[in-house]
Amino acid sequence: MNKKKAGGIESFHPPRLYPDYKSTVLRAPHRPLILVPGIFDDAYGPVFGESEVGPDDHDLTKNGRRDGEPLGERMIVHGKVMDLNGKGIPNTLVELWQANSAGRYIHKVDQHDAPLDPNFLGAGRCLTDQEGCYLFYTIKPGAYPWGNHYNAWRPQHLHFSVFGRNISSRLVTQMYFPGDPLLLYDPIYESAPETTRHLMVADFDLDRTEPMFALGYKFDIVLNGRNESRFENR
């Protein structure tokens, strides 16, 4: 979503080219984008439904178990997917993926010298309810080094994607944790306009915390308007 400003348009979203985030130098478009008519019509791509989501898909503390519990700090992340007026959007597919508690992904490209957790898959999904609410149980991810600059570390974060009726309407964002000192050194977080960065940081939620089990965090996802979430693929 863009807001109009005297003399032009100021984007609420991170720019596609942000030199401090070095990967954007290679992958950002250098010419005006061209909209291909019809490519985002509902007829394109698979259509999602309730039959695609299993009973434990939302619980990352269970869906990857082999012979024990995953290691790390258990947490609950919940929120609402809503429109610009704050109305919840029901039956929306929400995906989550993340590093494990040691800061490593289950992916052949991730060669970070940190242990893999055989009981943690690092991915989950759920459908929002009739009020647009979602909920995941998971493990708090660890920070990890990356090659963007000297001694660069990514803050602890979760990746979210939100789908409309089908795969062609996917939006992707990241959720960060309050008080993380690495936020000040992360060019992905810093690439968002300063006035909107708080929209990427979850709120600690003691009311949603489950005693003796897991801490709670609230993270709403807004699809349009002034408080729209910061989407990577806008």
User: Tens digits of per-residue pLDDT, 126-167?
Assistant: 999 999 999 999 999 999 999 889 999 999 999 999 987 666
Range 173-189 average pLDDT: 96
Most confident of 47-56, 120-129, 162-171, 221-230: 120-129
The half-sphere exposure of 125 on its side-chain side, counting CA atoms within 13 A, is 15
Among 104, 159, 208, 230, which one carries the catalytic annotation? 159
Among 21, 105, 134, 137, which one carries the catalytic annotation? 105
Tell me how far apart the alpha carbons of residues 159 and 94 are, in angstroms, rounded to a whole number.
Answer: 10
Q: List the structure tokens of 24.
A: 């954007």
Among 58, 125, 154, 208, which one carries the catalytic annotation? 154
User: Tens digits of per-residue pLDDT, 27-66?
Assistant: 788 888 777 666 555 555 545 555 578 899 999 999 999 9
User: Tens digits of per-residue pLDDT, 80-94?
Assistant: 999 999 999 999 999
* Domain map (residue ranges) of the chain: 55-222
Q: Which pTM does this prediction carry?
A: 0.83
Identify the CA nearest to 105 among candidates 55, 152, 64, 75: 64
Q: What percentage of the chain has pLDDT greater than the value 90?
A: 62
Output Rg (C-alpha) for the chain, integer angstroms.
18
What pLDDT, on the 0 to 100 scale, is given for residue 199?
94
Annotation says 21 is catalytic:
no
**Domain 55-222 sits in CATH 1.10.3730.10:** no
Secondary structure (3-state) at 4 = strand
Among 13, 58, 125, 157, which one carries the catalytic annotation? 157
Q: Chain centroid to CA 119: how far? A: 22
Annotation says 154 is catalytic:
yes
Among 21, 137, 144, 217, which one carries the catalytic annotation? 144
CA dihedral 200, 205, 208, 211 (to 10 degrees): 130
Annotation says 157 is catalytic:
yes
